[in-house]
Amino acid sequence: MKRFRLAAPLAAAVVALLPGTATADVTYPDPQPITGQQIIHDPTVIHLKSGGYVAYSTGGIIGARTSKDRVRWDDAGNAFAEPPSWWYEYNGTGDPWAPDISYRAGRYWLYYAVSSWGTNHSAIGVATSPTGLPGTWTDHGKAFTSETTDSWNAIDPAVIQADGRLWMSFGSYWTGIRMVELDPRTGEAVQDAPVHHLATRPDAPYAVEGPYIVKHGRYYYLFASYDACCQGVNSTYKIRVARATSVTGPYTDSTGKPLLEGGGDLLLAGHGRFVGTGGESIFKDRGRDVLAYHYYDAEDAGTPKLGLNPLSWKRDGWPVVL
């Protein structure tokens, strides 16, 4: 789960940039209405080749939801019939967080994290499936790890292909968002590959996590969740975005401020009953981009629920939530 990771502790209506940061005064759109099983955390969604949709999420297991129309969602159990034994090296309950699903080379690929609160003794695992559906996944073990001697945290993975190479962004608190190259054959990190630094904040505890990168036009866009999740109606999660001409950065916001210096345009924040919007991912549906995220429902005791909104692109290339 995209969590507080340190031991110590759209239509846009009016844009009013504050000095030194790309914060906007906006009217945020509500998520599209959905029915069925709405409870979810850190959703990753894909439109399956066979038709329909599947979403995977955090929550004690890698929970699965399926839908035929992207409106009604049904509980579909767990990605895995049983937790792989190596998960217990990282927490006592075999609890995975923040999955990421993608399709390439004729297979579906599922990345996910295993860790525990307050430590960066963490690992990102990888599994494959011929269909993408729960119960069909074969786990292949660790793709990348971090230890307490590292200055990053190997959780919240998201994979992107760029210029014929495969990359994985990841990170939560510590020094923020990082990136490493993957071997496309195994899906694991290239041995001794450099770990690139994409985003951080100047203020401790460096509350940025959950990256997701997409390409639009000539730019790569890095979306990330800022501030605190997992506190129900007290959550302050929000989604910011920046862009770069190279997948490894440097990423800057619309004012030119680097993400490595605390920049980032505010894309979506809590409003009304929809508190703590974050844990985002993006998927293609019939040629259009869709933003998936969770929010905490202030009218339902802060229960985390699935948010879905079309993601459009303005003439200047920046994304906007509809």
DSSP 130-163: SS--TT--EEEEEEEEE-TTSSS---S-EEEEET
Structure tokens at 21: 């940061």
Are 89 and 146 contacting, i.e. CB atoms less than 8 angstroms apart?
no
Using alpha carbons only, what angle is made at residue 306 by residues 304 and 309, rounded to the nearest 5 degrees?
135
What are the pLDDT tens digits along the chain (322 aa)?
A: 444 333 323 333 323 333 344 444 468 999 999 999 999 999 999 999 999 999 999 988 899 999 999 999 999 999 998 899 999 999 998 899 999 999 999 999 999 999 988 899 999 999 999 999 999 999 999 999 999 999 999 999 999 999 999 999 999 999 999 999 999 999 999 999 999 999 999 988 999 999 999 999 999 999 999 999 999 999 999 999 999 999 999 999 999 999 999 999 999 999 999 999 999 999 999 999 999 999 999 999 999 999 999 999 999 999 999 9
For the beta sheet containing 265-269, the strands, ordered from the edge strand earlier in sequence to the opposite edge, are 208-216, 219-226, 238-244, 265-269
Buried b (16+ CB within 10 A) or exposed e, 1-37: bbbbbbeeebebeeeeeeeebbbbebebbebeebeeb
User: What's the pLDDT at 26?
Assistant: 63
Which residues lie closer than 8 Å to 82 by C-beta, 6 or more apart?
none
Instruction: Tell me which CATH code domain 35-321 carries.
Output: 2.115.10.20
Instruction: List active site positions.
Output: 42, 209
Domain regions of the chain by residue span:
35-321
